[in-house]
């Protein structure tokens, strides 16, 4: 089955500013993964390609849990992309 998966993306802090948005919906063909989503976003070029390139330090959380790049994504998942945390 190759149903498209609509993902709810969130961006925080420096990445929210760099991307000029705090959220958006992105539709990916299933089966989707974090890696596939990142490749799609990098494909936009410009700041997306720069900020999400392999050498940059950022985290991805799926449904509010920090996840690895091979994490599968399903329709309706909340996917947050953010810089390393600096609270406390």
Partner 1 sequence: MAERDRIAVQTAAFDVGAETARLAALDRGIGAIASFVGLMRDQNNGDAVQAMTLEHYPGMTESALADIVAEAHGRWALMGTTVIHRVGPLHPGDPIVLVLTASAHRGEAFAACEFIMDYLKTRAPFWKHETTASGGRWVEARDSDDNAAARWNR
For partner 1, which is the closer residue by CB, 48 or 82?
82
For partner 1, which is the closer residue by CB, 5 or 80?
80
Q: Are 63 and 27 in contact (CB under 8 A)?
A: no
Give min distance, CB of 13 to partner 1, in A: 4
Give the C-alpha separation, 36 to 44, whole Å: 13
Q: Are 83 and 13 in contact (CB under 8 A)?
A: yes
For partner 1, which is the closer residue by CB, 43 or 68?
68
Q: Which residues bind partner 1 (CB under 8 A)?
A: 10, 12-14, 17, 57, 61, 64-66, 80, 82-88
Give the C-alpha separation, 40 to 38, whole Å: 5
């Amino acid at each position: 089955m190759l149903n498209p998966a609509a993902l709810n993306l969130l961006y925080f802090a420096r990445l929210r500013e760099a991307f000029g948005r705090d959220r958006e919906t992105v539709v990916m063909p299933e089966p989707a993964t974090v890696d596939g989503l990142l490749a799609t976003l990098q494909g936009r070029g410009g700041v997306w390609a720069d900020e999400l390139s392999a050498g940059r330090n950022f985290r991805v959380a799926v449904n509010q849990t920090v996840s690895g790049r091979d994490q599968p994504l399903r329709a309706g998942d909340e996917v947050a992309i953010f810089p390393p945390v600096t609270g406390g």
